[in-house]
Structure 1
Amino acid sequence: MKPAPAPNVVDFHARLAPGLLTTMDACGITRAAVSAGGLVDLDTLSDRLVEAHRGDEPADNAAVLRSAQASGGRLLPFFFADPRCDVEAYAKAAPDFRGLEISPAVHGVRLDDPGVTALVATAAEHHHPVYLVCLGRPGTRAADLVALATAFPTVDFVFGHCGFTGLDARGLATIAPQPNIAAETSGCFTAVARLALARLGPARVLFGTEYPLQDPRVELAKLAALDLEPPVLRAMTSENALRLLGEENR
C-alpha cells in the first residue's frame, strides 16, 4: 500500500461541531470547508431522505463565520441556505463566505425551485462552489443537478457523498459529462470512490469527512485503501479543493 495522505489534507465537507479543530489536528487534516450542522436529528433526516417534508430549521451561519474567522484560515465557511427564506441573507453575507450549501433533504426543496436559482446566481457572482447532496425524488436527482449546472456553467458544483445511497454509480454516470460538477467522497463505498476517479478523472474528485457524523479516521482509512498514486492523492486531498475554493496561492 502506498504512503498515507500528503501533509496538506483539505476536508471539503465538515460540519461545525465541538472538537472540530482538535479532531483535525489528531487526524492530520490541515483545513476544512465547514457548514452549519445539527439542524435536524438523524431520525428526521432519514425521514426526509424518503419523503419531501418542508423543513424550516435555521442554520447558524453566523456561528460558522465566527469560528472560521477565529481559526487562522483553517476553517473555510460555507453558507447553508434555505432556498425559501435565505436568498437575501446569502446575497448580503456572501462576501464573507467561501461557498454555498443547499440541502434538498433538510429543506425539502427541488433543484428547479426559484430560490435555488437565485442562490446559485449569487454563488456565481462571488465565485463560490455549491455543495449539495442529491436524492432519489423527482427534482432532486443527479439529472436535476446536471440541468442546474448546465444553466450555470461558470459555477463549480459538488455532488456530495458521490450520490445519495453510498452506491450511486448511476449518479456518477449522469454527472460525468458535465465538467463543472465534481464529486465528494465522504460516506460512499470504496468501490464508488474508485469509480468516481475513473469516470470523472482525478481533477473532479474531492476528499471529505462529514464530521461529526463520520469519524475522519474512517474516511482517511478509505483513502489509504484506494492505494492511489501520489499525484492522484494530492489532487483528491488538496489541489482540487484549493482550486475550487480559490485558495491555490494562499
Structure 2
Amino acid sequence: MDRKPVFDFHARLAPRPGAYEKMLAAMDSAGIGRAVISSGGVVDLDTLAKQIMVGGHVRGDADNDAVLAAGTRSGGRLVPFFFANPHRDPQYYRERAPEFRGLELSPAVHGVPLTDERTVALVEIAAEVGHSVYVVCLGAPGFTAGDLAVLAEKFPDVTFVLGHCGFVGVDLYSLNRITPRSNVFTEISGCYTEVARAAVDRLGAGRVLFGTEYPLQHPDVELAKVRALQLDPESLHEVIRGNAHRILGEES
C-alpha cells in the first residue's frame, strides 16, 4: 500500500476519558492521517446487539458536543459528523449543522425507519446544508439498503454512504440494491474481504470508502483487508483517501 496517509471515513469517539488521545495514537500507529468521527456509546454493545437482531431502540442523544470538540482540538485531523436523533425536533440538527461536516443516521440505535417522515426531514436539512449522509442499515423492512436506495432516489443531490457494505458481513444483497444509485457510496469496515472486493467490482472504486469502525475494530485489521484486495494504484487511492476528500469537498 502506498505511503501517503490514509483517510478513515468511519470511526467513533468513545465517551470515556482519554478517548481522544487513544484515537490519535491508534491512527498514528496505523498510518491514518485523518478520520471522519461520529459519537460512540449512545447505547451499550449488548443492548445494541439485541436491537439489531430482534428490534428495539433508544431515544437518547449522542454526545455530538464531544465529537465537535475533538474535531476542533485536532486542527482538522478529525472530521466531525452529527449523529442525529430522529426522535428530536429536526430543527435541532438544522441549528447545529453548520458546525459539522456531515450527518449520520442509525436505525440500529434509534429505531426510526428510513421511510419515516422524521428521517426524510433530517435528509432534507442535509440537502440544504450540503452534508453527506452516513447510514447504518438493517435487515427489517423500512431499514434496508433497498429503502436507502429509494431515499437516495428522492434526494439525487445528496451523497449517501451505506455503512459496512450492508447489514451483515456477507451482504451482497445490499450492494446490489445500491448499485444503480450513483449517489450512494459504501464504506467497507466490518465486511468480508470478498464483499469489499465485490463493492469495488460492482460499484467501482470511485464509490467505495475505507473505514475502520474504531474503536470496535482495530485499524490494522481493516488495512490488512484493503491490502488483500490488491487494488491497482488508482483504485487504491480512491478507496483509502480520494473518495473521502471528494465527498467532503476537499482536494485530494
TM-score category, normalised to shorter length: over 0.9
Residue equivalent to 1:96: 99
Residue identity in the other structure for 1:72:
G
1:29-108 to 2 correspondences below 5 Å: 29-85=32-88, 87-108=90-111
Give 1:168 deviation, angstroms.
0.5
* Structure 2 letter corresponding to 1:166: G
Contact 1:5 1:237 in 2 (8 A): no
**Structure-2 change in CA distance of 1:132 and 1:239 (3 Å):** same
Deviation at 1:54, TM superposition (A): 2.7
1:15 equivalent to 2:45? Answer no
Secondary structure of 1:140's match?
Answer: coil
1:190 paired with 2:176, answer no
* Structure 2 match to 1:144: 147
Runs of 4+ in 1 over 4 A off after TM superposition: none
- Identify which range, 185-194 or 222-231, moves more after superposition: 222-231
Measure how far apart 1:86 and its partner are.
5.0
Aligned residue identity for 1:40: V
What does residue 133 of structure 1 align with? 136
- How far residue 56 of structure 1 moved from its aligned partner, in angstroms, is 1.4
Pairwise CA RMSD: 1.0
Classify 1:5/1:187 alpha carbon distance in 2 versus 1 (closer, same or farther; 3 Å).
farther
CA contact (8 A) 1:132 1:160 kept: yes
Q: Does structure 2 retain, via aligned residues, the 8 Å contact 1:5–1:224?
A: no
Deviation at 1:82, TM superposition (A): 1.0
Aligned counterparts of 2:185 and 2:55: Cα–Cα separation in 1: 25
Contact 1:6–1:234 under 8 Å retained in 2: no
Matched letter for residue 69 of structure 2: R
Taking the aligned partners of 1:240 and 1:44, their CA distance within structure 2 comes to 33
User: CA 1:26–1:86 in structure 2 vs 1: closer, same or farther (change >3 Å)?
Assistant: farther
Q: After superposition, what is the alpha-carbon deviation per residue over 1:73-105, rounded to whole angstroms, capped at 9, x for unaligned? A: 101100001111151211001011000000000
Which position in structure 1 is the counterpart of 2:221?
Answer: 218
Q: TM-score, normalised by structure 1?
A: 0.96
Q: Look up the match of 1:177.
A: 180
Change (3 A) 1:86 1:27: farther
How many Å apart are 1:14 and its aligned residue? Answer: 0.2
Aligned mates of 1:184, 1:203 — CA distance in 2:
11
SS, match of residue 164 in structure 1: coil
Residue number in structure 1 paired with 2:125: 122
- Cα distance per residue 1:14-33 (max 9 Å; x no partner): 00131111111111100000
Tell me the SS of whatever aligns to 1:91.
Answer: helix
Shift of 1:106: 0.3
Residue deviations 1:45-67 (CA, integer Å, cap 9, x gap): 11111223131122000110011
**Aligned-partner SS, 1:246:** coil
Aligned-partner Cα distance in 2 for 1:227–1:175: 24
Q: What number of residue pairs does the alignment pair up?
A: 246
CA distance in structure 2 between the aligned counterparts of 1:77 and 1:86, rounded to whole angstroms: 21
Greater Cα shift, 5-14 or 103-112: 5-14
